Structure 1
Amino acid sequence: MLKFAHFNFNVLNLEKSLSFYKEALGLTPVRTKDAEDGSFTLVYLGDQTTDFTLELTWLKDRTEAYNLGECEFHLAFETDDYEGFHKRHKEMGCIVFENEAMGIYFITDPDGYWIEIVPSK
């Protein structure tokens, strides 16, 4: 058997990212690992519904933004409160693209990663 475990985003400011993911998506830390030499911290965020986690990697000495290429990848979330999340994200100013014909939209996190919001079927 094989199943998804986690997905990783590298972040420049761990506290800012933790705050964003809590406010925007309700994700909270479920596990943390600090490097023995103090060079990095891993924080795994969960949705309190599934076992899947988003791993945020903070490299202590990293100061330059990550090159995300053309952002041709994204993480997607499904919600039964599409309108509520859309309103929240609009107020936060983090919506970067909407496809009304498909009924989806995308937000970005503090590091520029794209996150798709999809209504439950």
Structure 2
Amino acid sequence: MAFKFLHNNFNVLDLEKSLKFYEDALGLKEVRRKVAGDGSFILVYLGDGQTPHQLELTWLRDRKEPYNLGENEFHLAFEAEDYSAAHKKHQEMGCIVYENPAMGIYFIADPDNYWLEIIPKH
């Protein structure tokens, strides 16, 4: 029996704001979308155009309060082809929430405060 990674899921409050953030900050594009017949939810799958892994954004119509992310001790990691340019872009966007120069990494936060690790290309 074999398994493979398909996607990770983040629930979001403002789908359009999140889609714009992920495209602007990380170049992720919508791959597919599923809309509930009754309009109660929308699932949007984002891809990087390079790997098969996707990020599923889930929007729930009746959700109004921010999601409780606990201590936010989880994240997705992205490798930046040009780490310096990525850092500059994210600095200009104001989304850097933590930097660790000794490790050569930093984290950005999306509109719902999910953390995304940015690492240089190895």
- TM-score if structure 2 supplies the norm length? 0.97
Please report how far the alpha carbon of residue 99 of structure 1 lies from its aligned counterpart in structure 2 after TM superposition.
Answer: 0.2
- Opposite residue 52 of structure 2, the aligned amino acid is D
Post-superposition Cα deviations, 1:43-97, rounded to whole Å, max 9, x if no partner, equal 0000000010000000011100000000000010012211111010000000000
Structure 1 stretches of 4+ with a deviation exceeding 3 A read none
- Equivalent residue, structure 2, for 1:107: 108
- Equivalent residue, structure 1, for 2:5: 4
Please report how far the alpha carbon of residue 114 of structure 1 lies from its aligned counterpart in structure 2 after TM superposition.
Answer: 0.3
Match status 1:72 vs 2:62: no
Please report how far the alpha carbon of residue 3 of structure 1 lies from its aligned counterpart in structure 2 after TM superposition.
Answer: 1.0
Quick one: distance in 2 between partners of 1:60 and 1:88? 32
**What is the count of residue pairs matched by the alignment?**
121
Give % identity: 69
The two structures, once aligned, show a CA RMSD in angstroms of 0.6
Quick one: distance in 1 between partners of 2:14 and 2:39? 15
Quick one: distance in 2 between partners of 1:117 and 1:81? 11
Please report how far the alpha carbon of residue 34 of structure 1 lies from its aligned counterpart in structure 2 after TM superposition.
Answer: 0.6
- Opposite residue 22 of structure 1, the aligned amino acid is E
Structure 1: gaps (5+ residues): none
- TM-score if structure 1 supplies the norm length? 0.98
Please report how far the alpha carbon of residue 116 of structure 1 lies from its aligned counterpart in structure 2 after TM superposition.
Answer: 0.2
Please report how far the alpha carbon of residue 35 of structure 1 lies from its aligned counterpart in structure 2 after TM superposition.
Answer: 1.1
Quick one: distance in 1 between partners of 2:3 and 2:37? 30
Match status 1:89 vs 2:61: no
SS of 1:33's equivalent in the other structure is: strand
- Equivalent residue, structure 2, for 1:44: 45
- Equivalent residue, structure 1, for 2:15: 14
